[in-house]
């Protein structure tokens, strides 16, 4: 299992140190949660903060856009150093145009499903996507309880496109990771599970070991 610690649960006053901690701790990606206060009832950080983090690690940046209108900001997130940009199928922009905008900036496109959005919504776009992110909590806040049901979508999506990567996000820790591994998830996001652990490096190792 690949692990993407979510910076949402890190100490925002010491982002460089937090990035060093997970880089030395062996993380596979850095997950960056962008919220606009409209698509979700919370605000987090945007492209300038992500750009400021970029020089402090060589890990790929996995940028999760929980915003109503992602398309107009793709250029900013690409310039800030995003390697993967994921946007919600439930947003208000045209998915096809948004995917093309991401590709035009040399970034890997991904789409996200809220817990109750069916996998079928992504069928028209699957052959163009690098990854699908399955939310295992309602997006907007860290530290919520994990829902296992959305993970059933992993098999449905892999049947349609066997090369698609599946990421799961929300409430993932040393116990809920087992459901993710069983469901065929490739990458797990963990905010609280990594940054609030006594030993974040050990927490990363434990999550990576699941499903091996």
Cβ closer to ligand DX5: 64 or 153?
A: 64
Contacts of 13 (CB under 8 A, 6+ apart): none
Q: Residue 46 binds what, of ligand DX5, Zn ion, none (CB under 5 to 8 Å, by partner type)?
A: none
Segment 150-189, which members bind ligand DX5 (CB under 6 A)? 169-172, 189
Distance (Å, rounded) from C-alpha 12 to C-alpha 16? 9
Contacts of 193 (CB under 8 A, 6+ apart): 172, 173, 174, 203, 207
DSSP state of 72: G
Does 17 participate in catalysis according to the annotation?
A: no
Distance (Å, rounded) from C-alpha 85 to C-alpha 71? 11
Distance (Å, rounded) from C-alpha 114 to C-alpha 95? 15
Structure tokens belonging to residue 75: 């250029």
CB of 146 to ligand DX5, least distance (A): 8
3-state secondary structure of 40: coil
Segment 111-140, which members bind ligand DX5 (CB under 6 A)? 137, 139-140
Among all residues, whose Cβ is closest to Zn ion? 64
CB of 146 to Zn ion, least distance (A): 13
Does 169 participate in catalysis according to the annotation?
A: yes
CB of 207 to ligand DX5, least distance (A): 11
Q: In this structure, are residues 3 and 202 in contact, taking their beta carbons and an 8 Å threshold?
A: no
Look-up: residue for tokens 């880089």? 23
Segment 7-66, which members bind ligand DX5 (CB under 6 A)? 8-9, 31, 33, 64
Segment 167-206, which members bind Zn ion (CB under 5 A)? 169
Enzyme catalytic residues: 33, 169
Q: Which residue ranges make up the site for Zn ion (CB under 5 A)?
A: 33, 64, 169
Q: Which residue ranges make up the site for ligand DX5 (CB under 6 A)?
A: 6, 8-9, 31, 33, 64, 137, 139-144, 169-172, 189-193
């Amino acid at each position: 299992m690949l692990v993407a610690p979510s910076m949402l649960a890190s100490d925002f006053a010491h982002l460089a140190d937090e990035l060093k901690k997970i880089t030395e701790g062996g993380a596979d990606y850095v997950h960056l949660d962008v919220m606009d206060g409209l698509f979700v009832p919370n605000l987090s950080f945007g492209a300038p903060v992500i750009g400021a983090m970029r020089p402090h690690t060589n890990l790929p940046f996995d940028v999760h856009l929980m915003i109503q209108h992602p398309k107009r900001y793709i250029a900013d997130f690409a310039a800030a150093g995003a390697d993967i940009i994921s946007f919600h199928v439930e947003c208000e922009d045209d998915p096809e145009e948004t995917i093309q905008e991401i590709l035009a900036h040399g970034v890997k496109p991904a789409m996200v499903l809220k817990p109750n959005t069916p996998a079928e919504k992504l069928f028209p776009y699957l052959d163009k996507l690098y990854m699908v992110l399955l939310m295992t909590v309602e997006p907007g806040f860290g530290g919520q309880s994990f829902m296992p049901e959305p993970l059933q979508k992993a098999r449905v999506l892999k049947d349609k496109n066997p090369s698609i990567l599946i990421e799961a996000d929300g409430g993932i820790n040393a116990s809920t990771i087992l459901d993710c591994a069983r469901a065929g998830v490739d990458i797990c996001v963990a905010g609280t599970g990594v940054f609030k652990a006594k030993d974040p490096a050990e927490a990363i190792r434990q999550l990576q070991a699941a499903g091996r």
